[in-house]
Amino acid sequence: MDNDVFDQFIEQLQRYVRERLIPAEKAIIEADAIPDDILAEMRDMGLFGLTMPEEYGGAGMNIAQYVRTIRELSYAMPCYRSITSINIGMVCSALKRGGTDAQKAEWLPRLAAGEIASFGLTEPGSGSDSAAMQTSAVKSGNGWVLNGTKRYITNAPFANVALIMARTNKEALPKNAHVSAFIVPMDTPGITVGKSDKKMGQAGSHIADIIMEDVKLPADALLGAEGGGFVMAMQSLDNGRLSVGAAAAGYARRALDSALRYANERKAFGEPIANFQLIQQMLAESEIEIYAAECMLEDACRRADAGENVLRKAAAAKVFATEMCGRVVDRVVQIYGGAGYLAEYDAERFFRDARIYRIYEGTTQILQLQIAKHMLREWAAQA
């Protein structure tokens, strides 16, 4: 997308976030749901189609533009990103990579128009070790039959379609070639969705189990090659990690701005607490770290857009940005003092909402392992 168009969009989005999305937060927390009128507006704004190519009704953003947009959107509470990001992140990216023309023509316009998507990788018995999944896809006639349970699946209660990872081979194969990806309409017989799980934070966003019992799918439900699902999922997760990093950076900025306001309003010992150097240190440290995360994200995106393999850098940016966000929201609670512990003020929910960023789409530990593995492999190749 042209930069002048993008700049104009960012300006509108910043206003939309501050004038509409943020004022709606209180109501969303109470109802634990995004109101229909806001959801309709988000669709009209084009937020579900950021990354889809223009010929499929999307905006054709590159990775840098997409990730910047997520950062701006994430100045508001996290559920706004959750509802859109599986579409424009994981599922769109997998379709663009592995989809046939017919699959793209069928799904990309629907997703760009705002049908809601889920991405099913995690299971009751496998999370970080996702290749150990038990969900099976067995060939039957021309099509496939799926059985198994996916756990903690974002958007499951209202998704129209899910990208489901399932094993197409009983044995674990090298490069995880026992895993394939399937596009599954959620109204297919045999699918049930569990109750929404109660979570620590991120009100308005929902996760649940997807239970599949003899779910019959046509041959063209397979996305990409048989056995190519895991590689595709991992490649899509590169984008996903940049998106989570951007969510953390955007939300850290929101929390810091809120602390800055509070520090100027709250008085102790006869003056605003912002005058105290120990408060200033917390503000400055947060500012420095947010800036660092923003720079990492921008660099990783620029490289990804230039065609570089950013596995290591996307993982690094995700780990840094999400751990950083954790430190920032912790300081923000501290700056708020006792008020920071009360549900009446924002600091407390910033603290709860931010916690998941260090866990999903690759925990900090798993990504550290990946980064180290990559470094060691590179070292060995050069030695």
Partner 1 sequence: MKILVPVKRVVDYNVKVRVKSDGTGVDLANVKMSMNPFDEIAVEEAIRLKEKGIATEIVVVSIGVQQSQETLRTALAMGADRAILVVTDVTTESLTVAKILAKVAAEEQPGLIILGKQAIDDDANQTGQMLAALLGWPQGTFASAVVPNGDRVAVTREVDGGLETVDLKLPAVVTTDLRLNEPRYASLPNIMKAKSKPLASKTPADYGVDPTPRLTITKVVEPAKRSAGTKVKTVDELIEKLKNAGAIA
What are the catalytic residues? Answer: 361
Would you state the structure tokens that stand for residue 173, as one six-digit string? 């194969």
What does 122 interact with, of ligand FAD, partner 1, none (CB < 5 to 8 A by kind)? Answer: ligand FAD
Q: For residues 119-178, which are near ligand FAD according to CB under 6 A?
A: 119-122, 127-128, 152-154
What does 363 interact with, of ligand FAD, partner 1, none (CB < 5 to 8 A by kind)? Answer: ligand FAD
What does 325 interact with, of partner 1, ligand FAD, none (CB < 5 to 8 A by kind)? Answer: none
CA distance 322 to 78: 13
Q: Closest CB to ligand FAD among 91 and 301?
A: 91
Q: For residues 305-364, which are near ligand FAD according to CB under 6 A?
A: 356, 359-360, 363
Q: For residues 26-45, which are near partner 1 according to CB under 8 A?
A: 41, 44-45
Out of 39, 52, 59, 210, the only residue in the binding site for partner 1 (CB under 8 A) is 59
**Shortest Å distance, C-beta 159 to ligand FAD:** 10
Out of 24, 28, 38, 46, the only residue in the binding site for partner 1 (CB under 8 A) is 46
**Residue whose C-alpha is closest to residue 233's, from 89, 78, 61, 70:** 89
DSSP 322: H
Stretch that binds ligand FAD, among 54-62, 115-123, 260-268, 340-348 (CB under 6 A): 115-123
Out of 33, 50, 91, 221, the only residue in the binding site for partner 1 (CB under 8 A) is 50
b or e along 243-256 (b: 16 or more beta carbons within 10 Å of the residue's beta carbon)? bbbbbbbbbbbbbb
**Residue whose C-alpha is closest to residue 112's, from 56, 157, 161:** 56
User: 160: buried, middle or exposed (CB in 10 Å: 19+, 13-18, 0-12)?
Assistant: middle
Q: How many residues of this chain bind ligand FAD (CB under 6 A)?
A: 18
**Residue whose C-alpha is closest to residue 61's, from 132, 119, 11, 112:** 112
**Residue whose C-alpha is closest to residue 239's, from 317, 326, 355, 127:** 317
Triad 260, 265, 269: Cα angle to 5°: 110
Residue 86 · residue 154 · CB < 8 Å: yes
What does 140 interact with, of partner 1, ligand FAD, none (CB < 5 to 8 A by kind)? Answer: none
**Shortest Å distance, C-beta 292 to ligand FAD:** 23
Q: Which residue is nearest to ligand FAD (CB)?
A: 127
Residue 91 · residue 39 · CB < 8 Å: no
**Contact positions toward partner 1, by CB under 8 A?**
1-2, 4-5, 8-9, 11-12, 15-16, 20, 41, 44-47, 49-50, 54, 59
